[in-house]
Amino acid sequence: MLRRIFIVAIAAAAVGLALFWWLTIPVTVAATSLAPHTPDLANGQTVFNAGGCASCHATPTQPDRLRLGGGLPIASPFGTFHVPNISPDPKNGIGGWSEANFVGAVQKGTSPQGLHYFPAFPYTSYQHAKVEDVRDLFAYIKTLPPVSGQAPDHTVPFPFNIRRNLGGWKLLFLDGMPFIPDAARSPQWNRGAYLVNALGHCAECHSPRNVLGGIVEKQRFAGGPNPDGEGWVPNITQKGLADWSEKDIAYLLETGQTPDGDTVGGTMGRVIRNTSQLSAGDRNAMAAYLKSLPAVDGPPRPKKKG
Each residue's pLDDT tens digit, 143-195: 999 999 988 889 888 888 888 889 989 999 998 889 999 999 999 999 999 99
pTM value > 0.85: yes
Q: CATH 1.10.760 region(s) of the chain?
A: 182-299
Per the prediction, the chain carries an average pLDDT of 90
The predicted-structure confidence for 200-251, as pLDDT tens digits, reads as follows 999 999 999 998 889 999 999 999 888 766 778 999 999 999 999 999 999 9
The confidence score (pLDDT) of residue 247 equals 96
- For the cut 60, the answer to whether the pLDDT of residue 306 exceeds it is no
Residue 76's pLDDT band, with cuts at 50, 70 and 90, is confident
Look at residue 232 and give its three-state secondary structure: strand
Range 182-299 classified under CATH 3.40.1350: no
pLDDT at residue 22 tops 90: no
The whole-number pLDDT of residue 243 equals 93
The pLDDT score that the predictor gives to residue 133 is 98
Extended beta strands in the chain, E state: 73-76, 79-82, 224-225, 232-233
Does the pLDDT value for residue 17 go beyond 70?
A: no
Q: Closest by alpha carbon to 92, among 115, 69, 71, 67?
A: 69
Q: What confidence tens digit (pLDDT) does each residue in 119-150 have?
A: 999 999 999 999 999 999 999 999 999 999 98
pLDDT tens digits, 273-303 = 999 999 999 999 999 999 999 999 988 877 7
Q: What is the CA radius of gyration of the chain?
A: 21
- Residues in a beta bridge with 293: none
Question: What is residue 21's predicted lDDT score, i.e. its pLDDT?
Answer: 61
d(CA 46, CA 42): 6
Q: Which residues make Cβ contacts (< 8 Å) with residue 146, sequence separation at least 6?
A: 87, 88, 89, 90, 93, 95
Identity (one letter) of the amino acid at 61?
Answer: T
- Quote the CA–CA distance of 294 and 301 in Å, as a whole number: 20
Categorise residue 71: left if φ over 0, alpha if ψ from -120 to 50, beta otherwise: left
